[in-house]
Chains A and B, each alone.
Chain A
Amino acid sequence: MYMLNAWVSLDYVLLTALGTLLGIYVGAIPGLSVTMAVSILISFTFSWDINNALCLMIGIYMGGVYGGSRTAILLNIPGAPAAIVTALDGYPLAKKGLAGQAIGLSTIMSVIGGFVGIAVLAVAAPAVSDFALLFQPRDYLLLGIMGITLVGALSGRSLIKGIFAGALGIGIGTVGLDPLTAEERFTFGYVELWSGISPVVVMIGLFGLTEALVQLHNLDKAMIKQKVDKIVPKLGDIKKYLPLSIQSSFIGVVIGALPGTGGEIASLMAYDHARRVTKKPEVPFGEGAKEGLIAAESSNNAAVGGAFIPMLTLGIPGDAVTAVFIGALFIHGVNPGPLLIETRPDMFWFIVGTLLLANVFLLIFGLTGIKVFSKIIQCPKGILIPIIFLLSIVGAYSIHNSVSDIWWMLAFGVMGYFMRRHGYPLSPIILGVILSHLMDENWRRAILVERNDLGAFWANLFSSPLSLTLLFIIVFVALSSTPFWRILKQKISRK
């Protein structure tokens, strides 16, 4: 088995371990993105043996996706867009002094998600990529609509304010060159705005800077004492949540495997799924429900395995990081593409093996460093807040090496501060920014494909089993949250 190659050499094992550890920290720091780290490594590892380079990069990828959850839980600052959903229930847990438990749980669930993703990659990669190719523009549109219904869940107390925030996010997402016609939209003649406002900039501003500004009000308040004794979740708990974790993982793999959607959309979908299947959460969602944390963490790590599927079977990147991997493999003389599994099975299985190894190290590193990490939250605010400021600025700059991104980040941070003071939820804004491109592009592409014929659009939608299923889910979700549904349910149960 070629897969074993990844485990027999001490070099490989050590590099994978180092990568995973680095990844956790890179991922934990908002703005230091995995994409960035992997791109830097391309130059750095140019003269290396390709297997060594891959070990380090895969380690960073795996660790980085997980690491994003750390700061999300501890500081309400997601380290990466895929961890936004983690913050929703993770941070409330930390506020109750349960940060250690939350991190422990998220580690276990990330590892489970990771294993499911890798298993699907190993067993069914060609089948999944063929399935991913079935997705037509209209199906991506339906996925986007499914995601946007989450605004309801993310709104908190006021739905109107939530919808406003979501719409604002969609508006922000439309800035830049029109993805279809390259016409300038809301750019006011600035070339800097052509590629739009990066969702990561919005995220760092709205979460990082806003959080730091809000915390300024509590400068003199006592820190929450964190309980760090029971970090590893009880076996019974893991068993109880396993079904949800597995379901979320499968959502993660599929969404991760679709070109153009990654961990951030996967975790949103899984969160929504968890809200629907969890009949009676111990605490409501958004206030520290473990189910929310589990769904987010399982799915975004499962999406890693998913993202490798189209890359290794078709040469199509599943997300931004795998796009960089394609470049790296190319530089090292390997062509990731439809012929890879046949011509270089060693390479395919080496990647699978390394992913598996990285996932094991994730478990080890994830569970050992928690005590120190949890202390971060107890660090005096006078020290913590300036650090957050600094990281936010560095993070914003490093996305495109652009100073204008820093200004955007600062502006969003200040805006977020005032919105939070006035009770507006911030996560729908991010949701809008992330989803607006997906929906904008695919709605218009879907209708262009039908030559602007709305009739043909619906006809094809209803004749495609995949589209019909997605539509059915949307209608079901929408209906199930209306009062009408409750009345119907009562009537049925009375009979």
Chain B
Amino acid sequence: MKIKNLLLGSLTSIALVTSGQSLADYPNKDIQGIIMWGAGGSTDSVMRSVTPYAEEKLGVDVIMTNRSGGVGAIATKYVYSQKSDGYTLLMGAENPQMHKVLGLSSIDYSDMIPINILARGTPIIVANNDAPYNTFEEFVAYVKAHPGEVRTGMTGNGGLTSIVLAMLESQVKLDLTPVPYNGDGPALTALQSGTIDVMSSVIGAALDHIQAGRMKVISVIDAKENNLLPGIAPITDTYPKLSSYLPWGPFFGIFVKKGTPKEAIDKLVAAFHAAAENESFKQLMAKRGFEIMNESGASAEAFLERYRSVSSWIVYDSGFSKKSPADFNIPRP
């Protein structure tokens, strides 16, 4: 493994030396976009709906390929192994920010430059329609009265469900029975069929089911009410202390490897900024319950850092991370 890293390092340094040529006319060939999740998933849909507008600005095609696997680590490693010339984009979600503490990979977004953080999702807690609780307080009271009886869907350590649960556990001890699923799609299905009773998800994934009356929402994991879910109290009403973590939520972003020439970055940032301003893209995202961010530069980096610090320390404090965030100089939130 070590030799491989060394080799990779030396290869990339050679690439760095050789890639400095003829960038004045960037972009002069097609750009590769590597999507870290599979076709049809939410990351895939978001990227495929924003990129065509950016292509118009860039004047070249962005050829998108799905390279799923390893919770996003495979795509991240792949982009990191390419030349830093701005011709390979990483189109990803929040996952790599947890890779270091979970021991999945030695690369995260701090080794990349954000071109655009497109949008972010707001976590919520949904429950089966037949569940005997309608608010978060009632839910806590019920769990306390029936320890271990409430089953909750989980989507793996480091996934949204695990972090939300860890956030809640920092405020209240909940004795739930976790049932793992590989993705929130199957888990939301199981919630409707009564296999599980409650789970955390994002508004985008659950909104239609909620509006169709197939499940109910009992809390919004945010510091304020969400206008898509009027009347649902934010979690900070119950646990004001959580506001130090919030707003927190999964996000979608486009990245290039560190070392990419400034000219290429500027052009990409401008193109994707304009693309994310597109009215039909905005409508699309709003309908799916995603909050448009459209941020780049320092504000995007600050957002990424905050996400990494909150999530890393939460999973470390709840004891399921392999390594301490301190090992990677990740400050406490």
Contact = CB atoms under 8 A, between A and B. Distances in A.
B209 A449 contact: no
A323 interface: yes
B40 A448 contact: no
Nearest to A326: B40
Interface of B: 1, 38-41, 44-45, 48-49, 52, 64-71, 73-74, 77, 105, 148, 151, 156-157, 177-182, 185-186, 188-190, 192-193, 195-196, 208-209, 211-212, 214, 280, 283-284, 287-288
A492 B155 CA distance: 53
A180 B74 contact: no
Contacts, number: 131
B311 to A, nearest CB: 16
A49 to B, nearest CB: 14
Given A316-B185, A449-B195, A46 B105 contact: no
A325 interface: yes
B209 A337 contact: yes
B48 A46 contact: yes
B68 A400 contact: yes
A451 interface: yes
19 contacts: A39-B39, A136-B193, A192-B74, A195-B68, A317-B40, A323-B38, A327-B39, A330-B284, A331-B284, A333-B284, A338-B209, A338-B212, A339-B208, A339-B211, A441-B182, A445-B195, A448-B178, A449-B195, A451-B148
A339 B193 contact: no
Contacts of A259: 185-186, 189
B180 A179 contact: yes
B70 A191 contact: yes
Interface string A84-110: 000000000000000000000000000
Nearest to B212: A338
Contact of A335 (B67, B74, B195, B288): B288
Interface in A133-148: 133-137
Interface string A152-187: 000000000000000000000000010111100000
A449 B208 contact: no
A333 B283 contact: yes
Interface in A455-492: none
Contacts of B182: 179, 441
Given A314-B214, A327-B41, 10 more contacts: A191-B73, A260-B186, A316-B188, A333-B280, A333-B283, A400-B69, A401-B65, A448-B178, A449-B195, A449-B196
B189 A314 contact: yes
A373 interface: no
B67 A400 contact: yes
B163 to A, nearest CB: 14
A43 interface: yes
B99 to A, nearest CB: 11
Nearest to B149: A451
A430 B196 CA distance: 31
A194 interface: yes
A181 B158 CA distance: 11
Minimum-distance CB pairs A-B, first 3:
A337-B208, A338-B212, A323-B40
B45 A331 contact: yes
A451 B189 contact: no
A259 B181 CA distance: 13
Nearest to B77: A191
B40 A325 contact: yes
Given A39-B40, A400-B67, A402-B67, A46 B180 contact: no
A259 B189 CA distance: 9
B195 A136 contact: yes
Interface of A: 35, 38-39, 42-43, 46-47, 133-137, 177, 179-182, 189, 191-192, 194-195, 259-260, 310, 314-317, 320, 323-328, 330-331, 333, 335, 337-339, 400-402, 441, 445, 448-449, 451
A338 B208 contact: yes
Contact of B195 (A137, A330, A331, A441): A137
A327 B68 contact: no
A133 B208 contact: no
A179 B45 CA distance: 24
Contact of A133 (B52, B180, B189): B189
A180 B177 CA distance: 14
Contacts of A189: 1
B114 to A, nearest CB: 23
A45 B14 CA distance: 39
A316 B189 contact: yes
Contact of A324 (B1, B40, B188): B40
A316 B156 CA distance: 20
B68 A448 contact: no
A473 B178 CA distance: 31
A133 B156 contact: no
Contacts of A181: 180
A195 B48 contact: no
Contacts of A47: 52
Nearest to A313: B212
B74 A323 contact: no
A135 B195 CA distance: 9
A74 to B, nearest CB: 29
A194 B1 contact: no
Nearest to B283: A333
Given A316-B189, A401-B65, A445 B180 contact: yes
Nearest to A444: B180
A42 B189 contact: no
Given A333-B284, A400-B69, A43 B48 contact: yes
Contacts of B67: 400-402
Contact of B214 (A338, A400, A449): A338
A458 B73 CA distance: 40
Nearest to B50: A331
A39 B195 CA distance: 32
Contact of B69 (A195, A328, A331): A195
A239 B283 CA distance: 53
A417 to B, nearest CB: 28
Contact of B193 (A134, A260, A315, A325): A134
A335 B287 contact: yes
Contacts of B288: 330, 335
A192 B214 CA distance: 38
A336 B65 CA distance: 24
Nearest to A46: B52
A43 B192 CA distance: 32
Contacts of A337: 208-209, 212
Given A134-B193, A338-B209, A39 B105 contact: no
Interface centre among B1, B40, B68, B195 (most CB of A within 10 A): B40
Most chain-B Cβ atoms within 10 A of its Cβ — which of A35, A327, A337?
A327
A448 B195 CA distance: 10
Nearest to A437: B182
Nearest to A260: B186
A308 B142 CA distance: 38
Given A46-B52, A135-B193, A182 B156 contact: yes
Nearest to A179: B182
Contact of A191 (B64, B105, B156, B196): B105
Nearest to A182: B156
A180 B186 CA distance: 13
B190 to A, nearest CB: 8
